[in-house]
Structures are given as structure tokens and as C-alpha cells.
């Protein structure tokens, strides 16, 4: 991981988990830094993955898990007929609209986690061959999301390096420099 995350307040487990989730989101999001829409949608490696598709996928997955855990219907329904759509821009979607959606998902996650009485609260997942049948805790779900986003951030690093040779460390430096006020 090319960035060091801020420490949580002592005893703030939720804050620590949310910080690590946001850190992994940032690692994936940074792979889009400085790219055109065409580059963000391109598939330069041996896989069919593109950078904006990875961002869209993790946003949809995160929102799905949080909504399942909250007992709220999923905003996006995916099955075999439309699964590939979560890895690419569809219809009127743009890089900017997917990133804005992802920001909304992150805020939804934070609000849901902060409102919980306990990370030990459990939920049952919908019936699906890939979901466990036993209840899961919110803590488990957050750890799963951190793992999921980290895995795809690694994929994104490979796609970005294949695209233009830029590594995660270079992208951290560039994105931090871009965030500085002019003249600093």
C-alpha cells in the first residue's frame, strides 16, 4: 500500500474499519488519475477489465452488501444476463457519473455503519449460490468489503501500469501534487 492511513481515535473500531475501506477505495480511484474517458474504459491487459469498470463494480458491490445488511432492496440488480454491465460504462454513464455514484455509496456506507448499535449486529444474506447461509456480522461485512476493494485495487494497478507504465507510487505523488494549492 503506497499511502499511510490516519490512525483512528482510540477505541473507534468503526472509524478504523471505515478508514481502511476508504484507503482501499482511494488506491483504486487513484488509478484513474489523469486519464481520459477513453483510457479509463480501455482494456490494455490480458483481461477484459478496465479501470472505470473496476470502480463501478466495487461501488455496486459495496452498495449491495450494505443494503443487504440493512434489509433495503438493492439499487442495482445483477444476474447472468447483465453481470458484465457492472464492469463497463452503460447508457449515459460517464467516468464522472460513476465516481459521483461511488461517492454516494461511500457516504451511504459510512452513515449505515455509524448508525449501528453494534458491529456485532448480524444479517442474513439473500438466497444465492455464492452467499453463505449463516448470518454475518457487520464487522465481517466491512472486513469483506476491505478485502474486495483491495483485490480490485490490485487489478487496477496492473491495468494502469499496462496502460501507461505508471505505478501506484507515481500516482500517489501526482494526485497529492494536484491537490496542493497553486504555487505550493
The angle, 0 to 180 degrees and rounded to 10, between the axes of the packed helices 138-164 and 13-30 is: 20
The per-residue pLDDT for range 94-137, each reduced to its tens digit, is 999 999 999 999 999 999 999 999 999 999 988 888 888 899 99
pLDDT reported for residue 127: 85
Class of domain 14-172: mainly alpha
How far is 124 from 115, CA to CA, in rounded Å? 19
Confidence label for 183 from pLDDT (cuts 50, 70 and 90): low
Average pLDDT over residues 38-52: 94
Given a cut of 80, whether residue 7 has pLDDT beyond it is no
Query: Is the Cβ–Cβ distance between 3 and 11 less than 8 Å?
Result: no
How far is 171 from 156, CA to CA, in rounded Å? 12
User: pTM of the entire structure?
Assistant: 0.91
Given a cut of 80, whether residue 1 has pLDDT beyond it is no
The per-residue pLDDT for range 130-161, each reduced to its tens digit, is 888 899 999 999 999 999 999 999 999 999 99
Domain ranges within the chain, ordered by starting residue: 14-172
How far is 36 from 95, CA to CA, in rounded Å? 9
Taking CA 84 as the corner, what is the angle to CA 79 and CA 85, rounded to the nearest 5 degrees?
90
Amino acid at each position: 500500500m503506497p499511502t499511510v492511513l490516519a490512525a483512528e481515535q482510540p477505541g473507534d473500531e468503526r472509524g478504523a474499519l471505515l478508514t481502511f475501506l476508504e484507503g482501499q477505495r482511494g488506491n483504486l480511484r487513484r488509478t484513474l488519475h489523469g486519464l481520459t474517458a477513453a483510457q479509463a474504459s480501455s482494456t490494455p491487459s490480458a483481461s477484459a477489465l478496465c479501470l472505470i469498470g473496476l470502480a463501478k463494480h466495487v461501488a455496486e458491490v459495496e452498495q449491495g452488501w450494505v443494503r443487504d445488511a440493512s434489509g433495503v432492496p438493492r439499487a442495482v440488480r445483477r444476474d447472468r444476463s447483465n453481470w458484465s454491465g457492472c464492469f463497463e460504462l452503460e447508457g449515459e454513464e460517464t467516468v464522472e457519473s460513476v465516481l459521483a455514484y461511488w461517492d454516494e455509496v461511500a457516504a451511504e456506507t459510512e452513515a449505515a455503519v455509524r448508525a449501528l448499535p453494534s458491529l456485532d449486529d448480524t444479517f442474513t444474506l439473500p438466497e444465492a449460490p455464492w452467499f453463505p447461509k449463516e448470518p454475518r456480522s457487520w464487522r465481517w461485512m466491512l472486513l469483506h468489503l476491505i478485502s474486495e476493494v483491495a483485490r480490485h485495487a490490485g487489478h487496477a494497478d496492473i491495468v494502469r501500469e499496462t496502460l501507461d507504465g505508471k505505478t501506484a507510487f507515481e500516482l500517489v505523488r501526482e494526485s497529492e501534487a494536484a491537490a496542493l494549492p497553486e504555487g505550493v
